[in-house]
Structure 1
Amino acid sequence: MPTQRPPPFTQISTDAVPPSQRLDYWEAYNASVLVGLKCSSFAEGGLRATQSNVDLGVVRLAEIRGNEHVIERTPHLARMHPKDSVFASLVLESSAFFYQGKACEQVEPGELLVYDTRHAYLFGFTGNMRLLLLDMPSAWFHTHCVRDTPARPVKIHAGTGSGRVLSVALRKLLAGVMRRPAAADAASVPEEACELLRAMLLDQIGGARVSALRASHMLVARSFIDDHLHDAALCAEQVAQAAGVSLRHLNRLFAADGLTVSQVILERRLERAATDLRAPALRRYSVAEIAYRRGFASQAHFARVFRARFAMTPTQMRSASVA
């Protein structure tokens, strides 16, 4: 099996650039890696901003921090720098305003904005800002999230109910990638993010409350599993109780993916153990310690199920990653 390589990661900052050149620098960088835009800032000292990017293959993730500023994708820039993507921007800090077409949205921290980059827009931040941005090709978004591109920007509130659960989970997922990009699973992160976005969008536009509720139950269950993988006593009944449903109902929800709760627990333990074995920072731990960290009480059982899952032993995977 080929060794999994960490997703490419890049980071820039305007701090090392003379203030008079910061806007040009920021615009040129974004045109090359994200989207063509025009940036304006009236802050004393000029624009101060940083951007981190993780290439997850089919989608890209960016974390942007900065002082108050406005970005604009004008009709001219949309023609000069075409971009056929859907952006999902999760605002974490600063109030913001967003214009596209005839729509104007006021955006507060914790709210998610989904919009089409083929059309001109303006995005402004009134204070020190921070956001997580998911860049999804339109064709992929149509296939995996929702069939139609939003005709106008969609703002998703994160106040109560399933929307709050889904928003918190999306933030946790994306922020976790930015904290440890080298440990990110470039295959699973887009799928998990898409599942969350689909549930949020369907819940927002109405007519799919059952789908959103199903997604929220599964999300809570998966989150509980990931947070308790170290516990060898973790069982399906505990997961169902945390999700607020019966074990029979939770297994019925997971059955749509061809799995039971117990199989999901085992799969996540194996995935995390494989990630640990490939991580250079964890080479000081023995294979037995890795197994214990991920909730396997028996090293023999761990070795057996690991080989069945990855077609190699834990030691072989570690050796391949070192090589």
Structure 2
Amino acid sequence: MIETVFNSDDLPKAERFAYWHEITCRTLMPTRVNVDDEGSFRASVRILGSDALQVSTETVQSLMRAERTPKLIRRSDPEQYLLGVVQNGSYEFSQLDRESTFGVRDLILFDSSYPFHVRHQGGTHVMFRFPKKLLPLPFSKVTPLLATRLPRQEGIGDILAHCLFEVTREPSRYRPSEITRLLNIALDLLTTLLSHELDALDSLPPESYREALIVRIHAFIHQRLGDPELSPMTVADAHHISLRYLQQLFAADGTTPAAWIRRQRLERCRQSLTDPHQNQRPIRAIAACWGFTDNAHFSRLFRATYGASPSEYRASYQTFVRETTSPLRE
């Protein structure tokens, strides 16, 4: 797995900007950058991933203007799409005569093969980049979405942003193979998001269509896990497919729609039972929050899945936490 880490605080002030510019041009793509005061420039960068899929998080604490010119593109073009997600700050971005301002959690897609300009006062963003050939949509369909604000308030866009934030927030928690898997999921989510915006799911190759539809269905279910009326039939209806086809989609992964929904609900309940902020919350209330209306039925399912009743599981976890966090006594 590729990992590059840079923090300007590790260098003398006079060298910070030049070294940061060199490392970002080498590991991301060549750009021309100006800052108001190189002497006060501060920045940090972390890049993770493989040769194909990479995610980076970058913080710049200076007013900065950057551009990718036709000359730089002719000199070096990785032929990539890049998806930026703003964590904090405000960014002004333009490409293909489109100009937009992006704020917290906004998503922006752009193309390394076209000139662009970006200006910001300082902030943090996550950047997901990958070869254009990996996105199973025609270039001509993607181009109208470049440098526009992609939907992110709810649904696929929000899940995509959360996935990328999760990878970069504390990457040491994940094995390299898990980071690769998460980045592949991010690519699937982006494919689904763009397809939805273009109403282009039908134009995807069959396997890509199936994968994109599954991601979309999973996102739909996660948003509605607390609704006791959620069922395989409501999922099928919401996606304009037959119940039989929905069952075939899940059967390819060795499960059923009902079992997958049930397992997701149980896992959310298990997480709540181990959350110290919910120690005093009644188990019945936790179960109801995630769609279980029959407490006895919930307890049976929980025991069958985790080998203990909900109350036993909570008590055992609390005991484990106390024993592992208590100071050693002689």
User: Is TM > 0.5 for Structure 1 vs Structure 2?
Assistant: yes
> After the TM superposition, which residues 201-216 of structure 1 pair with which residues of structure 2 at under 5 Å, given as runs?
201-206=194-199, 216=216
Give the letter aligned to residue 116 of structure 1: D
Quote the offset at 1:172 in angstroms. 1.5
1:20 to 1:80, Cα distance in 2 relative to 1, 3 A: farther
Structure 2 residue matching 1:170: 3-state secondary structure: helix
Counterpart check, 1:53 vs 2:47: yes
Give the letter aligned to residue 174 of structure 1: L
Match for residue 116 of structure 1 among 91, 108, 111: 111
**Would the aligned equivalents of 2:214 and 2:249 in 1 still touch at CA under 8 Å?**
no
Match for residue 191 of structure 1 among 184, 207, 216: 184
1:56 to 1:220, Cα distance in 2 relative to 1, 3 A: farther
1:297 to 1:13, Cα distance in 2 relative to 1, 3 A: same
> After the TM superposition, which residues 19-38 of structure 1 pair with which residues of structure 2 at under 5 Å, given as runs?
19-38=13-32
1:78 to 1:245, Cα distance in 2 relative to 1, 3 A: same
Counterpart check, 1:77 vs 2:67: no
Counterpart check, 1:86 vs 2:78: no
Q: Report the equivalent of 1:156.
A: 149
**Would the aligned equivalents of 2:95 and 2:147 in 1 still touch at CA under 8 Å?**
no
Structure 2 residue matching 1:256: 3-state secondary structure: helix
Q: Report the equivalent of 1:274.
A: none
Q: Report the equivalent of 2:321.
A: none
Match for residue 232 of structure 2 among 243, 247, 255: 247
Match for residue 171 of structure 2 among 155, 158, 181: 181
Give the letter aligned to residue 69 of structure 1: M
Quote the offset at 1:221 in angstroms. 2.8
Counterpart check, 1:147 vs 2:138: yes
**Would the aligned equivalents of 1:62 and 1:134 in 2 still touch at CA under 8 Å?**
yes
User: Identity over aligned residues, as a percent?
Assistant: 16
Aligned length: 248
Structure 2 residue matching 1:172: 3-state secondary structure: helix
1:214 to 1:55, Cα distance in 2 relative to 1, 3 A: closer
Quote the offset at 1:105 in angstroms. 1.8
Q: Report the equivalent of 2:162.
A: 172
Structure 1 residue matching 2:46: 3-state secondary structure: strand
Structure 1 vs Structure 2 CA RMSD? 3.6
1:123 to 1:130, Cα distance in 2 relative to 1, 3 A: same
- Which whole-Å deviations, capped at 9, do the CAs of 1:104-138 have from their partners, x for residues lacking one? 2222222111111011111111x331111111101
Counterpart check, 1:135 vs 2:120: no
**Distance in 2 separating the partners of 1:245 and 1:170:** 23
Q: Report the equivalent of 1:101.
A: 96
Give the letter aligned to residue 74 of structure 1: T
Give the letter aligned to residue 147 of structure 1: P
Q: Report the equivalent of 1:286.
A: none
Give the letter aligned to residue 90 of structure 1: V
**Would the aligned equivalents of 1:218 and 1:254 in 2 still touch at CA under 8 Å?**
no
Give the letter aligned to residue 139 of structure 2: D
Match for residue 306 of structure 2 among 268, 272, 297: 297
**Would the aligned equivalents of 1:60 and 1:135 in 2 still touch at CA under 8 Å?**
yes
1:94 to 1:129, Cα distance in 2 relative to 1, 3 A: same
Give the letter aligned to residue 78 of structure 1: I
Give the letter aligned to residue 177 of structure 1: V
Which segments of 5 or more consecutive residues in structure 1 lack a partner in the other structure? 1-6, 225-238, 270-294, 300-323
**Would the aligned equivalents of 2:98 and 2:148 in 1 still touch at CA under 8 Å?**
no
Quote the offset at 1:99 in angstroms. 1.7
Give the letter aligned to residue 306 of structure 2: A
TM (normalized to structure 1)?
0.64
Of structures 1 and 2, the larger Rg is shown by: 2
Which segments of 5 or more consecutive residues in structure 2 lack a partner in the other structure? 203-208, 237-242, 267-303, 309-330
Give the letter aligned to residue 65 of structure 1: T
Quote the offset at 1:12 in angstroms. 0.3
1:217 to 1:178, Cα distance in 2 relative to 1, 3 A: same
Quote the offset at 1:62 in angstroms. 0.5
Q: Which moved more, 1:16-25 or 1:170-179?
A: 16-25
Q: Which moved more, 1:86-95 or 1:68-77?
A: 68-77
**Distance in 1 separating the partners of 2:75 and 2:16:** 21
Q: Report the equivalent of 2:12.
A: 18
**Would the aligned equivalents of 1:156 and 1:200 in 2 still touch at CA under 8 Å?**
no
Higher relative contact order (CA 8 A, sep 6+): 1
